[in-house]
Chains A and B, each alone.
Chain A
């Protein structure tokens, strides 16, 4: 089986999830080609163990994001019975289109993959998992921080291919993000607040803790829906973002089922809640029954000692 992996790039280099895609694909015992959209990260990709070949795809279309143009360019150079990408927004867009171009199916946000092809992915935002088998070729996107990354030490050959696609989206205006804060989907540590925070102004205490440990701040749907000061971009849960960090700290969040759906696969969960019966404690590795007003200052102080 030939597998093509679409590298995830960031800031002109390779996103760490790319090594995870290679790690997952290696378990299928296949020949692996990594293609780098826009040519970014090609040298780095060659150094990932298990990669057979790296194609840096350069073309005018990669100057801005147009999923249709990117898919056209990448599909033109991608061989492979199986195409694997990462599951963030752009990867889902491109991979959906590559599957449609090929008339094959796409399965997004895969969390388990084994020869066969046997695939598991979450449904109902993680309230259940679905095991699938595929007949013939397909396209997959894999969830980040789920598969162990392939080690470094690869010596693949890098080739550069000129290939563009038909660009139909033009950016009329670009705005820089107002704050430099991390987005929850990019963060390895998240501290989220719920309605138990009492008032939206109190989220500043969460930001203070977040600044100490380089975390992103999230929120429950209850908080987002109650206070217009808390934007939907912070919402973690079934109608917000699904996150998968190493550490998730839930403060004043009761643990409604739609919130748990968005964060239950976090590696470690800490819950701070004054209600000992709050459902959030059922998924917490470390639960602290306490008001946030008492716990947060101590938490900030203790974390400051570590850095």
Chain B
């Protein structure tokens, strides 16, 4: 049987204001945590793939207990197996540690198709998909913007500098997704009820020592206040400033 894994990360809602206090982002000030938006597209395609192939899906997240919600939300859409990787001693893991933890779990799942977002909406790194693929000895297609998973041979489209390329890869493979125009499905009542009873397997992993230390978080540098003009008659002056002062045109 085809086996699918999908990697999901819980992040602050993208409309959340991020505040820094004592050199760290204040996570207690974040009221809404959501599934990272790109991961939602990965999940949507994974479910389409499951529907066409009769595969089972394992959703995996790395995070503290609050991250159970992303797994429950996935269960409400029909994901069968839920795994959360965590250890209370973990904090600000570096890429090497994150990939070690996820690879360990993925080796146990033996997935043919591994779906994830192109990057998380909080760290924005884009390292996990290709990094996990390398550790598992798999190919990886990054930033997929279109797909067809309805047939026996799924295909995926990525952007290139001159257009698009469609690839019809052989599993095992890691696939990372960007946001597209596709409408994401919403859970129905039956799904929500089933998700309440869904079991989450919580596991730890050997992740080695940290190689990267966080020194401080800082708010972004504030620009000095700019100049404000009124009306279309000010446009020639602004264009003049762009040419003579900013020297950008």
Partners in one complex: yes
Q: SS class of chain B's interface: helix, strand, loop or mixed? A: mixed
Residues of A within 8 A of B (CB): 10, 65-68, 71, 89, 92-94, 96-97, 99-101, 103-109, 118, 122-136, 138, 168-177, 189, 213, 228, 231-233, 235, 238-240, 242, 246-247, 256-258, 264-265, 267-270, 276, 281-290, 294-295, 297-299, 302-303, 306
**Cα(A92)–Cα(B123), bound, Å:** 14
Question: Which A residues lie within 8 Å of B143 (CB)?
Answer: 89
B239 close to A299 (CB less than 8 A): yes
Whether B249 contacts A93 by the Cβ 8 Å rule is no
- Is there an interface contact between B133 and A285, defined as CB atoms closer than 8 Å? no
Contact with A along B193-233 (1 / 0, CB 8 A): 00000000000000000111111111110010111111111
Q: Which residues of B contact A228 (CB under 8 A)?
A: 181
Within 8 A of A (CB), among B149-200: 155, 159-170, 173, 178-181
B125 interface residue (CB < 8 Å to A) = yes
By DSSP majority rule, is chain A's interface helix, strand, loop, or mixed? mixed
Does B124 belong to the interface (CB within 8 Å)?
yes
Interface size on B, residues (CB 8 A): 86
Residues A92 and B127 in contact in the complex (CB < 8 Å), given A134-B211, A283-B223, A290-B231: yes
Do A175 and B37 touch (CB < 8 A)?
no
Asked if B95 and A175 sit within 8 Å, CB to CB, the answer is no
**A123 x B165 contact (CB < 8 A):** no
9 A-B pairs with CB atoms under 8 Å apart are A106-B125, A107-B212, A129-B218, A213-B249, A239-B179, A269-B226, A285-B246, A287-B226, A290-B234
- Contact across chains for B163 and A128 when beta carbons are under 8 A apart: no
A294 to B230, CA, bound (A): 11
Tell me the bound Cα distance from A170 to B139 in angstroms.
11
Per the bound structure, the CA–CA distance linking A270 and B123 in Å amounts to 28
Q: Is B15 an interface residue (CB 8 A)?
A: yes
List the 9 closest A-B pairs by CB distance, nearest first.
A100-B134, A168-B139, A294-B232, A127-B18, A96-B130, A298-B235, A177-B163, A302-B239, A131-B215
A108 to B133, CA, bound (A): 17
Contacts of A303 in B (CB 8 A): 239, 249
Residues of B within 8 A of A (CB): 12, 14-18, 20, 25, 37-38, 94-96, 99, 121-135, 138-143, 145, 155, 159-170, 173, 178-181, 210-220, 223, 225-236, 238-239, 241-243, 246, 248-249
B12, B145, B219, B220: most-surrounded residue (chain A CB, <10 A): B220
In contact, B246 and A247 (Cβ under 8 angstroms): yes
List the B side residues contacting A238 at CB < 8 Å.
14, 121
Cα A41 to Cα B121 with chains together (Å): 34
Q: Closest CB-CB distance, B10 to chain A, in whole Å? A: 14
Among B130, B159, B160, residue most surrounded by chain A Cβ atoms (within 10 Å): B130
- Please give me the residue from chain B that is nearest to A272 by CB atom: B235
**In the complex, what distance in Å separates the CA atom of A127 from the CA atom of B182?**
27
Q: Chain A's nearest CB lies how many Å from the CB of B97?
A: 8
From A99, A171, A177, A288, B131 is in contact (CB under 8 Å) with: A99
Flag if A168 contacts B134 (CB, 8 Å). no
Q: Is the CB of A284 within 8 A of B125?
A: no
Q: Which residues of B contact A68 (CB under 8 A)?
A: 130, 133-134, 138-140
CB pair B211–A135 under 8 Å, yes or no, is: yes
In the complex, the answer to whether A270 meets B242 with C-beta atoms within 8 Å is: yes
B124 x A109 contact (CB < 8 A): yes
Given known contacts A174-B163, A298-B236, A247 and B249 CB-to-CB distance under 8 angstroms:
yes
Smallest beta-carbon distance A249→chain B, Å? 9
B174 CB → nearest A CB, Å? 10
B220 contacts which chain A residues (CB < 8 A)?
122, 126-129, 264-265
Give the CA-CA distance A298 to B240 in the complex, in Å: 13
Task: Give every chain A residue within 8 A of B170 (Cβ-Cβ).
Answer: 168
A295 cross-chain contacts in B, Cβ below 8 A = 232, 235
Contact between A174 and B165, CB atoms less than 8 A apart: yes
Given contacts A128-B25, A257-B15, A298-B236, contact A240 B213 (CB under 8 A): no
Residues in A with CB closer than 8 Å to B124 are 108-109, 122-125, 242
- Determine which residue in A66, A96, A239 has the highest number of CB atoms from chain B within 10 A of its CB, and name it: A96
B140, B214, B236 pick with most chain A CB within 10 angstroms: B140
Given contacts A105-B94, A239-B38, A247-B246, contact A289 B228 (CB under 8 A): yes
Q: Write out the residue numbers on chain A whose beta carbons fall within 8 Å of the beta carbon of B155.
A: 172
| Contacting residues, chain A, for B96 (C-beta < 8 A) | 99-100, 103-106
Residues of B within 8 A of A257 (CB): 15-17
For A109, list chain B residues within 8 Å (CB).
124-125
State A232–B179 Cα separation when bound (angstroms): 7
A residues near B145, Cβ cutoff 8 Å? 233
Partner of A123, one of B38, B123, B141: B123
Could you tell me if A131 and B218 are in contact, using CB atoms closer than 8 angstroms? yes
Interfacial chain A residues near B16, Cβ < 8 Å: 257
Report how far A78 CA is from B14 CA in the complex, Å: 38
Q: Say how far B132's CB is from chain A's closest CB, in angstroms.
A: 8
**Does the CB pair A177–B134 fall under 8 Å?**
no
Evaluate contact between A306 and B166: CB separation under 8 angstroms: no
